[in-house]
């Protein structure tokens, strides 16, 4: 389906934030969705690093970005030109406070009509499941296991090193090599 607002992609983050802050209620749905699309992956990655939990990271995305949009709409973001810093700060605050405010998220979701499906980024849509599986299968056995343990089983580095009988430094080097190859294979179309 063609993007109904193709020109929004050319807008800066600052411009999007200002349009949401200054627009009449109900007139900036497309801008909000674009802001969500841009920052959801970054907040999720942030959550992954600090929470080490996939589901909690998805929750964090919802909470942070819905709150951001709420604050923008209310004119409570003092510097919309630094919207990235605002979102990062909000992410930090929410994690530090240990808030798992599911109820609040549900209230915000209902109020703004933003569902989880909108978290999906363009990069997700471009990733072909069977190809990703094939690219994983094409990795060396140990490289693939390090990727599975790190990014699927959420195992800590010392545990991985112990299980594989190698040093933590070796695990890190294996992971670098494996992710570079996976990225090339999945996104670069390298031959399997």
Q: What residues line the site for another protein (CB under 8 A)?
A: 12-13, 38-39, 41-42, 44-46, 48-49, 52, 54, 82, 84-85, 87-88, 121-124, 126-127, 129-130, 132-133, 136-137, 140-142, 144-145, 147-157, 159, 163-165, 172, 175-176, 179-180, 182-183, 186-187
CB 179 within 8 A of CB 150: no
Reading the block at residue 2, the tokens are 């063609």
CB atoms within 10 A of CB 10: 7
Q: Which residue number, 110 or 122, has a Cβ lying nearer to another protein?
A: 122
> In the complex, what is the shortest distance from the CB of residue 178 to another protein, in angstroms, rounded to a whole number?
9
Nearest to another protein of 111, 126 (CB atom): 126
Choice between 77 and 182, CB closer to another protein: 182
Place of tokens 């090193």: 161
User: Residues, the chain, total?
Assistant: 192
CB 84 within 8 A of CB 17: no
CB of 117 to another protein, least distance (A): 14
For another protein, the closer of residues 29 and 81 by Cβ is 81
Buried b vs exposed e over 92-116: b needs ≥16 C-beta within 10 Å?
eebbeeeeeeeeebeebbeebebee
Smallest gap from residue 143 Cβ to another protein (A): 10
Closest distance between another protein and the C-beta of residue 152, in Å?
5
Q: What is the Cα–Cα distance from 141 to 139, expressed in whole angstroms?
A: 6
């Amino acid at each position: 389906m063609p993007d109904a607002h193709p020109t929004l992609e050319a807008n800066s983050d600052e411009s999007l934030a200002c349009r949401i802050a200054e627009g009449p209620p109900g007139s900036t749905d497309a801008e909000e969705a674009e802001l969500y699309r841009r920052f959801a992956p970054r907040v999720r990655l942030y959550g992954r690093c600090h929470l080490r939990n996939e589901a909690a990271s998805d929750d964090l995305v919802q909470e942070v970005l819905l709150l951001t949009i709420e604050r923008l709409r209310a004119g409570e973001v003092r510097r919309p030109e630094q919207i990235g810093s605002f979102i990062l700060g909000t992410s930090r605050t929410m994690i530090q406070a240990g808030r798992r405010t599911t109820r609040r998220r549900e209230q915000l979701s209902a109020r703004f009509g933003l569902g989880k499906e909108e978290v999906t980024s363009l990069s997700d849509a471009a990733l072909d499941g069977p190809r990703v599986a094939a690219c994983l299968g094409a990795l060396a056995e140990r490289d693939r296991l390090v990727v599975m343990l790190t990014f699927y089983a959420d195992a800590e580095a010392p545990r991985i090193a112990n299980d594989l009988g190698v040093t933590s430094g070796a695990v890190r080097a294996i992971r670098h090599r494996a992710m570079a190859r996976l990225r090339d294979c999945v996104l670069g179309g390298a031959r399997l």
